[in-house]
Structure 1
Amino acid sequence: MSRLLTVLTLICIGVLGSSSVMAQDFSIIVVRHAEKAVAESDPPLSEKGQRRAQALAEMLSKVQISAIYSTPYKRTEQTVSPLAQQHGLEVKNYRAGDGENLAAQLRDAQQDVLVVGHSNTVPGIVRALDIEVEDLTEQDYGDVFVVQFRQGKPQLLRLMVPVQE
């Protein structure tokens, strides 16, 4: 019995140990859409928002992104459109209320991706990746939350997309 327990323990250590060694390093980048135009039901980006979207594309131009996810609104899709065109990627839509589920799926997929959301959804997405962040206000634009997974553990690198006034 003792020998069987020893063998089972060694097998468990081998399996668990190999899974942590095999854990892929990846990043999930989460941003809020850029500045929107006049308040309407589905507003496009303002001129400043368009400049910020272009700056985001320039900022992430050398990042190897596998996929881009956006809610199906003009302002979110327009925020990532320059980057998607640059990388030759089609933007995949998700429901705004499903951001936290999407985060869990992306964490399991272990790929470098970009997710764009809203002031009331971005913090929840980042929190679903086991990173504590404060809520965003309606005036907060330009925050880039880069959640890097190294050996399965999340770390946050928070950046800002610059834009000319």
Structure 2
Amino acid sequence: MESYTFEVKKKPIKIMKYIFTILVACLTLLSCKTENETEKPNVTTFYFIRHAEKNRENPEDKNPSLTEKGQLRAKKWSDIFKNITFDAIYSTDYNRTIETASPTAYNNNLDIIKYEPENLNTLKIFKEGYENILVVGHSNTVPKLVNNLLQEDVYPDIDDQNNGNLYIVTLVNQKVVSVNLLTIN
């Protein structure tokens, strides 16, 4: 009978150890999620536009302001972007680009960050954790910045009479997932 009692005591202990081992294994598996499962993906959307219509009266003026039509377009851009909360707004250090960015910066209560097109590291900006970024540039710099994000030469320089292109590039975890080119008249 002692043998029987010993076996009964031994089996529950083995069963308890077995159940405990399975429980620990299940809890370990549940807590060992992959990085993608536990972390929210880092999503950043860049909005690239060229400056609005500039004053061309003086061909010697390297830093002209916007025309009246250009000022209206700058306001129109801010209306188009009214439902987007920007984390940062970048502009080259020219009157026409700053004037184009100003209404949107004002609506978002942001200062305009000035940049040199050849030194703008879009992936560094991405790492800042921003969700929505507006970048205002020029007919030759905007396509280059977009192409830089795409890591291929897709977009040519913008026609000099075209001030209405909007390039929207969305990155998830530093990988481009969508690119859209819209023309706003």
TM-score with structure 2 setting the length: 0.71
Instruction: Tell me the equivalent position of 1:153.
Output: 175
In the alignment, the residues of structure 2 paired with residue 81 and residue 34 of structure 1 have an alpha-carbon distance, to the nearest angstrom, of 12
Is 1:59–1:161's contact at 8 Å kept on the other side of the alignment? no
Match of 2:123 among 104, 111, 117: 104
Instruction: Tell me the equivalent position of 1:4.
Output: none
Give the 5 Å matches for 1:128-139.
128-130=148-150, 132-139=154-161
Instruction: Tell me the equivalent position of 1:52.
Output: 73
Q: CA RMSD in A?
A: 2.1
Find out whether 1:33 has 2:51 as its counterpart: yes
Is 1:52–1:161's contact at 8 Å kept on the other side of the alignment? no
Is 1:34–1:79's contact at 8 Å kept on the other side of the alignment? yes
Match of 1:90 among 104, 111, 125: 111
SS in 1 for 2:150: coil
Deviation of residue 143 (structure 1)? Answer: 0.4
Deviation of residue 151 (structure 1)? Answer: 5.1
Larger Rg: 2
Deviation of residue 149 (structure 1)? Answer: 1.7
Is 2:123–2:174's contact at 8 Å kept on the other side of the alignment? no
Greater relative CO (CA pairs within 8 A, separation 6+): 1
Number of paired residues? Answer: 146
Letter in 2 for 1:27: T
Consecutive unaligned residues in structure 1, runs of 5 or more: 1-13
Deviation of residue 19 (structure 1)? Answer: 5.4
TM-score with structure 1 setting the length: 0.79
In the alignment, the residues of structure 2 paired with residue 118 and residue 23 of structure 1 have an alpha-carbon distance, to the nearest angstrom, of 31
In the alignment, the residues of structure 2 paired with residue 59 and residue 130 of structure 1 have an alpha-carbon distance, to the nearest angstrom, of 24
Match of 1:18 among 35, 46, 49: 35
Find out whether 1:144 has 2:166 as its counterpart: yes
Letter in 1 for 2:134: L
Letter in 1 for 2:149: L
Consecutive unaligned residues in structure 2, runs of 5 or more: 1-31
Provide Cα deviations, 1:107-133, integer angstroms capped at 9, x if missing partner.
332421101111111111001111632
Is 1:55–1:161's contact at 8 Å kept on the other side of the alignment? no
In the alignment, the residues of structure 1 paired with residue 158 and residue 165 of structure 2 have an alpha-carbon distance, to the nearest angstrom, of 9
Provide Cα deviations, 1:17-63, integer angstroms capped at 9, x if missing partner.
51585431220111111110023110000111111101100000110
- The share of aligned pairs that are identical, in percent, is 32
